[in-house]
Amino acid sequence: MKDSCTPTFTLSIDWEDFGQILCRDYCSLITQPLKTIDRQTNIILDTLSETNQKATFFILGMLAQYRPDLVMKIASQGHEIAMHGQHHVNMRRLSRKEAHKDLSDSYNLITDIIGAPIHGYRAPYFSIDESNLYVLEILSEMGLIYDSSIFPMKLRRYGIANFNTSDMLYELPNGRSLVELPLTVIDWKQKKIPVAGGGYMRLLPKFYLDRVFRDLSKRQQNVMLYMHPYEFDTEYINCSENYPPGTSYSKTRTFIANMRWNLFRNSIRPKINALLQSYNFITCLKKAENVKKHTHSPTVLGCPQ
């Protein structure tokens, strides 16, 4: 059972380059990241520095291998470095052995860059559900303390229906334990809705979000925000910029992608800024350590019916 923990906000950044991911998805090639990652990362770091807050960066291996300098810059400012896997693949499409390779490749790469261990993981596309909970066992065997990949509601592409919405320490089938820091969802008219990141935060109006987060804070609920570097960018994003010369790609697909990646994006910075100025933020690692400290016996991991 869990004692009370201090409620706090966490800002997590899935640190990846949208151009690199789209090129991998559309052209099956791993390319150099776009230069825009510098501007986007600097905007995030400046925002955190101006508000005197710390965040957790889930670093994608295939970006880190091209930009170890930026990983070091993030670490040097006191933010937590965690991992987001090596190649940004949906973990449900990998075998247990392939999942282990993707995780250990990114662990080795990132720990080599920063010269220190890392303690947490977020799966690309939140791709841990009932079908591959063994990924949590792999993480525990690698010595990680926490995972933050589970969406505690069923959405079209990810999530586990009725999964516990609180941060919890779980006992795993391999006899080890791991803290799960789920993404924040709220109850609304007897339904759960996601509010704390990506497209949801872009589409929901600021006055509504302010009210939601004020309410979560009053009720002493933990909040896990998740964002991506491109969402902080001040310039228009063109998704075709990273396609290698001679690559054929669908113009319609690119048009739709550009619309998706730019729509309401400029509303994100003021929304995040307001939260950073209003609440106390801690890193995922600190949050996971608090959960461990206040848990007398871990909950046995099982999927809700």
Binding segment for Zn ion (CB under 5 A), chosen from 118-126, 151-159, 181-189, 252-260, is 118-126
* Residue 124 binding Zn ion, by CB under 5 A: yes
Nearer to Zn ion, 67 or 177 (CB): 67
Size of the site for Zn ion (CB under 5 A): 3
Smaller CB separation from Zn ion, 16 or 180: 16
Q: For Zn ion, which residue has the nearest CB?
A: 14
Work out how close the CB of 58 gets to Zn ion at its nearest, in angstroms, rounded to a whole number: 8
| CA gyration radius, the chain | 19
| Best CA proximity match to 304, nearest among 181, 94, 133 | 133
| Separation of alpha carbons 182 and 202, rounded Å | 20
The alpha-helical segments, DSSP class H, found in 52-169 are 61-64, 68-76, 96-114, 134-141
| 231 interacts with Zn ion by CB under 5 A | no
Span interacting with Zn ion, options 11-19, 25-33, 90-98, 268-276, rule CB under 5 A: 11-19
CB 163 within 8 A of CB 182: yes
Is residue 58 within 8 Å of residue 121, measured between CB atoms?
A: yes
156 alpha carbon, distance to own chain's centre = 18
**List 14, 102, 180, 233, residue binding Zn ion (CB under 5 A):** 14
Phi/psi of residue 262, each to 5°?
A: -105, -20
Which of the stretches 7-15, 184-192, 217-225, 230-238 binds Zn ion when contact is defined by CB under 5 A?
7-15
137-196 residues in contact with Zn ion (CB under 5 A) are none
The span from the CA of 29 to the CA of 48, in Å, is 33
Shortest distance in whole angstroms from residue 60 CB to Zn ion: 7
Rounded least distance, CB 124 to Zn ion, Å: 4
Question: Closer CB to Zn ion, residue 103 or residue 169?
Answer: 103
Site string for Zn ion, 274-293 (x = CB under 5 A): --------------------
Nearer to Zn ion, 8 or 148 (CB): 148
Q: Which region, judged by CB under 5 A, interacts with Zn ion, from 13-21, 39-47, 94-102, 165-173? A: 13-21
CB 55 within 8 A of CB 12: yes
Task: Compute, in degrees rounded to 10, the torsion defined by CA atoms 97, 103, 109, 114.
Answer: -150
Token pair listed for 292: 């461990």
- Give CA–CA dist 238/92, Å, rounded: 29
Minimum Å distance from CB 74 to Zn ion?
Answer: 16
The site for Zn ion (CB under 5 A) is made up of 14, 16, 124
